Amino acid sequence: MIDKLTVFFDKTLSGPMEKLGQQRHLQAVRNGIVATLPLIIVGSFFLIIAMPPIPQDWALYKFLNGNAATIMLPYRMTMFIMTIYATFGIGYSLAESYDLDCLTGGILATIAFLCTVTPISVAPEAAEVAGVSGWVMPMANLGGGGLFVSIIVSCLAVEVYRLTSHSKFKITMPEQVPPAVARSFEALTPTIVVIVGMACITYFAGFDWHGAIATIVSPLVKAADSLPSVLLLVFLITGFWSFGIHGVSIIGSLARPLWLQLIDANTVAVAAGHAPTAIAAEPFFQWFIWIGGSGCTIGLAILLAFRSKSKYASSLGKTCFLPSCFNINEPIIFGTPIVLNPVLIVPFIITPMVNATIAWIVTSLGLVNKVVMTAPWTLPGPIGAYLATGGDWRAIVLNIVLIAISIMLWYPFFKIYDRDLLKEEQAKENQA
């Protein structure tokens, strides 16, 4: 049965999905967004510092909250406008895939995106009071809300660059000209096309990029923030992993823009003093579903390390336990192996789906805060859950409960696996 399923999976899904994961535009989007994660993580911490999870009558809380506007400025310059950084990364990565000048690709993508934003005129009196020039940028479009527009125009800008660089419609400098200067002149043609083209579409034709794209993707964002969507993503990711394909790498490339919109909506709400609304942002997966890594293998790691009777399982458990505490589980996935293992594939898929359901219900009932920041994924589960929910101690309890549930769900399958290994080892000893 497992052989037939493997052949079906390989022919029907494995090949096409691997090709999809290697598609240059999707890779550029993934690389550009992933490059912003350090800014998102560090910027998120300033949001927590400005609104610390401590009693409000403490002097420290009053001091930090009283200076929240200043403390949150690094957040506003990083995560709050993360789409600008992602845009440069997408353009840079896509240009690199075409063997074009990466910096030019990043700059063209950035200016193309900025040309989708229409500055707002401020009354002279208000501008003088605020100390601005009379025009301000609508900051909401520079955050996660503008990510889909960024993806589209970044790819368009680099494609214009590619077409002009492979045509006669460009400025070519003599060989004696320094390379940096030559690249600048070669970039003039695509720059003119991108700026004039985007200006005509946005400012002269009056096309609202952000409004139009928001209308198109809003059903996707709403659908992503639902339990069926969470369970489907979990099933797909663990399903691919079960056959040796990096599930997060493939599915995450498609889902991450949606996840970022959800976490951005939550952080913006918290920064404005409102309650977050989205549940299924990426930190929700990290700290309540992928505990110990994809498949919630922390339960298996604990069982292997402390309950194994076979020598191989015991040594593997002792080797894999510490990495699993920091959400690194490739040693378990390929060491047991879980890949193409009909016994261990079942809990590998079922355990995170059960945990996802429990965590969703608990969060939707308000028993645990919704995630509001992206904590480093290598943190131990309870610590990461505490930080991601803005310092909610109940998230620690939920994380620990889910670890206990994962142990129970993995246990019967672990017993079969360990028993079979023990029989093999005893048979070899008897033969010797």
Task: Give the model confidence (pLDDT) of 187-203 as tens digits.
Answer: 888 999 999 999 999 99
Instruction: Flag the least confident range among 84-98, 172-186, 250-264, 408-422.
Output: 172-186
Task: Give the model confidence (pLDDT) of 253-294 as tens digits.
Answer: 778 888 988 998 899 888 888 899 999 999 999 999 999 998
Q: Kindly report the pTM of this predicted structure.
A: 0.80
Task: Give the model confidence (pLDDT) of 367-393 as tens digits.
Answer: 999 999 888 888 999 999 999 998 999
- Identify the three-state secondary structure at position 101: coil
Q: What is the pLDDT of residue 280?
A: 93
pLDDT at 122 over 90: no
Place of tokens 């859950």: 385
Q: What is the average per-residue pLDDT within 105-133?
A: 78
pLDDT at 7 over 60: no
Q: What is the average per-residue pLDDT within 356-373?
A: 95
Q: What is the pLDDT of residue 16?
A: 65
Which band of pLDDT confidence, cut at 50, 70 and 90, is reported for residue 123? low
Question: Average pLDDT over the chain, rounded to whole?
Answer: 86
Alpha-carbon 197 to chain mean position: 31
* DSSP, residue by residue, 88-128: HHHHHHHHHHTTS-HHHHHHHHHHHHHTTS-PEE--HHHHH
The span from the first CA to the last CA of the chain, in angstroms, equals 34
Rounded to a whole number of angstroms, the CA Rg of the chain reads 25
Q: What is the pLDDT of residue 10?
A: 56
